[in-house]
Structure 1
């Protein structure tokens, strides 16, 4: 059996996540991108303890003239009060931008500001605040978001939701290419929807190894509603002084939009042939489900208004996808409950529970979506469908006893875990185990056949990280040409709802056995 597009949940033999990349402290880089200014303030008197070295470019005052000054002398009273209200200790707050107008040497300099309250200091990010374009006015954006939201609500599936998002977000933002990719259980990302200019590379359906978005970068998406790189060709700007005088440590830039980007990621963008990028997380049940990735061939810096609209859309899509996935799960659980009820009736009306499980209609095969099943109980073996030989079943049970599995257990890569099963991978690359009496080797076993999968990668995942001889510096792969990998010794993945149904059934069988014996 062959399936050209491997499903999201397939288990790969190799883990492409990178512990090395994931260990780099991205939040302590002490560098920012140059399209804004960053202040570190003392929370008591709002004195400037640190400032990015590009401050003079924006404020027409040298860094040394700013350090030690209270920021209140540059702000009108009303805005100072607003700033102080943003610093009020009210627990977690959404990062909502607001306007600050600095008065310096008689000139008014308008900025959009973000405040990040830390325990020992306050961070303020400033970006110049040009008058928004007509299409980015509140009313225009509100109307567009309402329209896109109505389309998303009508979408019948997760796939439809994701395709609408990328198409409409491309129209809204003007980015050259927008991808939505979903993480698999091993943190590789597969592109499930795409909207792009004709001359941009096509990544639809391709997988990207987990090392492209290592753990530390994934974790930062819970602190940042988006990650923007207006141009990859920039010179990072240092904080002055380098060490935060309020903490005597590097300043934690986890929540800062201006935080500089690892050199290896800028090189990655170069290899993608894009100048600007922006990514937004899709977070479902407090888990990172996927990313919206926006690419542009030339430098691009969306306004705060547009960024806020994109952030809102990513939140709306997160909710919509969560709803679609929940609907799918509820529908499947309902179907499985009906099958479970019918099986229970057969269990209690058949001469033996094995007969009720395997010989009725429906049988265990329909409940767990398996191609074969075996019941090993009180020295006897009952089977239905495609199963290993009796001798192979006995050896498999001996292996299971050594694993000490006391509860329902499943794998979609049995040949990789139990080498002897490679002889019968055609019928048992997937295994679900319902222990009845594990110590005595009494089990209900369900089998799924091998499904040979062809995975299309965006570049060779084995070349995702290329280390230099010093073992410290590394580079991303320089080609994203489609690389195909054939995955063997694997069955279709087990759904959580199927395993839940298996555990419910196991409980019912144990209850029946106890009633009969006692």
Structure 2
């Protein structure tokens, strides 16, 4: 059976240990003052049997607390500490038991009140309150954080007199490191040693955030069990007497520690670290002395927070310039990917990265050392797995990107930020491996043992000899500021994309209006031109009938033919303008029937009797049957027209349908199209070859392209002068009107 020590330790319910440390006693009462729980050592101290205490009011213990027998002072203290249903006791409350000074500490716990009873007498020879002012001055005498931490351990040790005082800093993965220490001369240094996260599991770290000081006075004493008339365990989260986990007791004993004391360092609501104190003989510190140490811890927490904020602000200012460069690039370039060329090197320098990638619209734009294209796309695909995150952060890619075989030396660190929810477009930074040596206080892997019932259990380390681990495949971690700035770069990019989309939308609206106006103008002008053209033609024919002079007759004939040609051009322009106004009536079209009709039409009027018109597969299309007929008639008719001078004119029509689109290819063996003409072949009035050899107006293919656009389709041409042409018509399966 494989056991993860960190997971195993984190499941231990250390907030309900069922007992208290024996240097004190505990009572838990409800709001009416009825005793619901008590520590077993209370009976021996008070001389009252447990069954006579449980279920009765706490008033019966007034004499034991050195008060009058009929005193209700405990409930009076609670009532005095209650304001708007919020209980804020002013602890401690002095009491005397058998002429010995004790402190009563009241804390609320769910619907109960816990009464911790501790001795006032302490193992400290001097009240630390007399030293705290000078100690704080010494602590904060320098601005450098490492120096402040070093000063703190020296001053804390002076105040509480423990054999060893350390500052233990938590890393992002939960493991800790000794970053400052002061210790008795006969002891060895632990500075720089690392401790696994399972030494202080997650639920213990949460308790350290609630109780800022924690005392274990004597690890060798067994806890006093809690007694109650109910089987429900008592939550001792807020109790200063809470018993210690047996595993932690064994852990301290393995280090030969007899007493421990800790002060939490909490910065912005997070447990930054601990002031951890060890003594090699039992040691008790009373409540007021612990509060003095807590004050020092709170001052240190504020100092650490300020120094961290200064470092963060300095880093933020350094990286802010990159955001400005990105913004400037996006404002001055029409192409979004241009920012990689403009700002790539500065991004690499600012983020201490080795590679930068913009994955945008399926294309990869990069600078520096980056993985292969398929690996980059796999990283982009990770956002489909972590849909609730806008970025992915990793300093050990081989663990976090198991499906992507990244080179762990070159790409150990990855920071990826998604551009928009639901798509793969993203920004990615890479960092190389930063090989390091970590010195652990003993083998960080706790031993799995088997108990007498054959069940596995975790036993703490027996050896704390330095254990060296060579770490590879791991990069320097990304800081919160780097992530914050990287997300801001993403936001600038999204803003620029949104701005360009809006610009395109406005431009499209203007173009749509302009095209509509142009269509209307073209239709009106073309329609109005037909009347004078008809008159010109009629007058030319009249001149021919009236005149007997051959020269006049010929001139009139030229006028008549020009009017006929111009009338044909006007008619085609009218048809072209109507395409933009016509509603696309989408339906399934049987292309075999449509092309057969076109074939019959062309064979009836063929110029070359050797015309070979081949129709192969004809998959059906979805679109307007009238407009599709116009498309295929124009393209096939052109293929026949421009190949009719060949000995055997050949035109092949073939369609192919896939899951995404249907493609028709219409190939001829005609005159072909030059490279220059291919660029303008679909423009209005554009014609191919010698215009004197082939009839036409140059409007047909322009009309075809317009119809294709209305269908969300595309037409292209593949051709070489003198070698025929192939027109490729691509129709998507979902038609866009």
Match of 1:513 among 497, 500, 514: 497
Structure 2: unaligned runs, 5 residues or longer: 505-737
Do residues 150 (structure 1) and 140 (structure 2) align? Answer: no
* Alpha carbons 1:357, 1:363 under 8 Å: kept: no
1:64-116 alpha-carbon deviations (Å, 9 max, x no partner): 675646233444369954762235444253672220134xxxx5342111112
Aligned to 1:159: 146
Whole-Å Cα distance in 2 between the matches of residues 230 and 175 of structure 1? 12
Q: CA deviation at 1:204?
A: 1.4
Check conservation: 1:17, 1:214, Cα contact below 8 A: no
Structure 2 residue aligned with 1:70: 60
**From 176, 183, 190, the counterpart of 1:189:** 176
Find the aligned partners of 1:231 and 1:131 in 2 and give their Cα distance.
13
Q: 2:96 aligns with which of 82, 98, 101?
A: 101
1:213 to 200, 208, 211: 200
Q: Which residue number corresponds to residue 120 of structure 2?
A: 129
User: In structure 2, the residue corresponding to 1:427 is in which secondary structure?
Assistant: coil
> Is this contact kept in 1: 2:109–2:238, CA < 8 A?
no
* TM superposition shift of 1:374: 3.0
**Map of 1:22 onto structure 2:** 10
Q: Cα distance 1:65–1:414, how it changes in 2: closer, same or farther (>3 A)?
A: closer
1:476 Cα deviation (Å)?
0.8
* Structure 1 residue matching 2:408: 3-state secondary structure: helix
Equivalent pair of 1:465/1:477 in contact (CA under 8 Å): no
Partners in 2 of 1:473 and 1:443 — Cα distance?
45
Which consecutive unaligned segments of at least 5 residues does structure 1 have? 1-13
CA contact (8 A) 2:124 2:285 kept: no
Cα displacement (A) at 1:415: 2.7
Q: Which moved more, 1:262-271 or 1:18-27?
A: 18-27
Contact 1:17 1:187 in 2 (8 A): no
**Aligned position for 1:114:** 105
Of 289, 293, 304, the residue aligned with 1:310 is 293
Match of 1:401 among 365, 381, 395: 381
- Of 54, 61, 72 in structure 1, the residue corresponding to residue 41 of structure 2 is 54
Contact in 2 for aligned 1:170/1:177 (Cα 8 Å): yes
Task: Give the one of 41, 57, 65 matched to 2:29.
Answer: 41
Label 1:94 to 1:491 Cα distance change in 2 as closer, same or farther (>3 A).
Answer: farther
Write the deviation string for residues 177-208 of structure 1: whole angstroms up to 9, x where unpaired.
11111222222111111111132242211221
What's the CA shift string for 1:449-502, capped at 9, x where partnerless?
111122221111223554546225442110111222222222111111111111
CA distance 1:443–1:266, shift in 2 (3 Å): closer
**SS at 1:27 equivalent:** coil
Matched, 1:85 2:112: no
Distance 2:361 2:35 in 1: 78
Alpha-carbon distance between aligned partners in 1 of 2:286 and 2:417, rounded to the nearest angstrom: 56
TM-score, structure 2 as length reference: 0.60
Equivalent residues of 2:123, 2:284 under 8 A apart? no
Contact 2:5-2:446 at 8 Å conserved across structures: no
Corresponding residue for residue 486 of structure 1:
470
**Which residue is 2:553 aligned to?**
none
Partner of 1:10: none
Q: 1:237 to 1:423 in 2, by over 3 A?
A: closer
Residues 109-168 of structure 1 show CA distances to partners (whole Å, capped at 9, x for unaligned) of 4211111234554321212223896621xxxx3442222223344432433332222111
How many Å separate the matches in 2 of 1:435 and 1:275? 52
Number of equivalenced pairs: 489
1:341 positional shift: 1.3
Mapped partners of 2:15, 2:423: distance in 1: 54
Q: Which residue of 2 aligns with 1:475?
A: 459
Are the aligned partners of 1:209 and 1:464 in contact in 2 as well (CA < 8 Å)? no
Report SS of the residue matched to 2:15. helix
User: How many Å apart are 1:219 and its aligned residue?
Assistant: 2.4
Measured after TM superposition, the shift of residue 233 of structure 1 is 1.0
**CA displacement at 1:352 relative to structure 2:** 4.4
Quick check: 277-286 or 440-449, which moved more? 440-449
1:31 pairs with one of 19, 38, 59: 19
- Report the equivalent of 1:345: 328
Cα distance change of structure 1 residues 291 and 464 upon mapping to structure 2, 3 Å threshold: farther
2:517 match:
none
Flag the 1:294–1:516 CA change in 2: closer, same or farther, 3 A: same
CA distance in 1: counterparts of 2:124 and 2:197, whole angstroms = 38
* Deviation larger for 170-179 or 507-516: 507-516
After TM superposition, give the deviation of residue 35 of structure 1 in Å.
0.7
* CA contact 2:122–2:285 (8 Å) conserved in 1: no
Change (3 A) 1:473 1:450: closer
Equivalent-residue separation in structure 2 for 1:451 and 1:516 (angstroms): 40
Q: Distance in 2 between matches of 1:349 and 1:47?
A: 76
Alpha-carbon distance between aligned partners in 2 of 1:456 and 1:183, rounded to the nearest angstrom: 15
Q: Work out which structure has the larger RCO, using CA pairs closer than 8 Å and 6 or more positions apart in sequence.
A: 1
SS at match of 2:99: strand
Distance in 1, matches of 2:406 and 2:424, equals 22
